[in-house]
Amino acid sequence: MNTCILTARLDEVSQNFFNEMRDQHFPKEINLLKAHLTLFHKLPDTFANQQILQSVKENTISGTVTSLKNIGNGVAYFLDIPALNKLHIYLQKAFNSQLILQDKQGIRPHVTIQNKVTPEEARKLLEHLTKSFKPFQVSIEGLDLWHYLSGPWQHYQYFPFKD
């Protein structure tokens, strides 16, 4: 059985921005993915889980990119999206018995644009990007389910929100 990853689908403009930032700052030799906002890191690929995701009746969710933070060996943009936090809690309850410890924790929505670099490289990038950072709006348009392929991911299914 495949292992799945669940991400929030960002609006096209935001996704393109984060992809560009990731392409610029993530070490190229290990940058196997586009930018993403992960909700769950490991879900079983079951029909029941797909039904849970299909049952989500959300409108497009708005939020704000509020800050950049050092994540130790990299940098991420952090987002304030109360409705996404609420949806995450709902899905945690629905998936509860299947969740790994990491996915049972509360969510801190973020998009990693640099990882697996030295702490000094991360500090320098954070300092550079913070100089011109201004909070901006994003929209979450749905949920994406991915198959984990021992490194890269393969898109599996999209669950759009209603508008």
Range 3-160 has CATH code 3.90.1140.10: yes
Beta carbons within 10 angstroms of residue 49's beta carbon: 19
Cα-based torsion angle of the residue sequence 56, 89, 83, 69 in order, rounded to the nearest 10 degrees = -130
- For residue 10, what is the enclosing H or E element? strand 3-10
Cα-based torsion angle of the residue sequence 71, 62, 56, 150 in order, rounded to the nearest 10 degrees = -30
Q: Which residue(s) pair with 155 in the sheet?
A: 146
Q: In sequence order, what E strands does 34-99 have?
A: 37-44, 61-70, 75-80
Identify the three-state secondary structure at position 158.
strand
Give the orientation angle of helix 82-95 with respect to helix 47-54, to 10 degrees: 150
Each residue's pLDDT expressed in tens, for the chain with a length of 163 residues: 689 999 999 999 999 999 999 999 999 999 999 999 999 999 999 999 999 999 999 999 999 999 999 999 999 999 999 999 999 999 999 999 999 999 999 999 999 999 999 999 999 999 999 999 999 999 999 999 999 998 899 999 999 998 7
pTM: 0.95
One-letter amino acid of 23: D
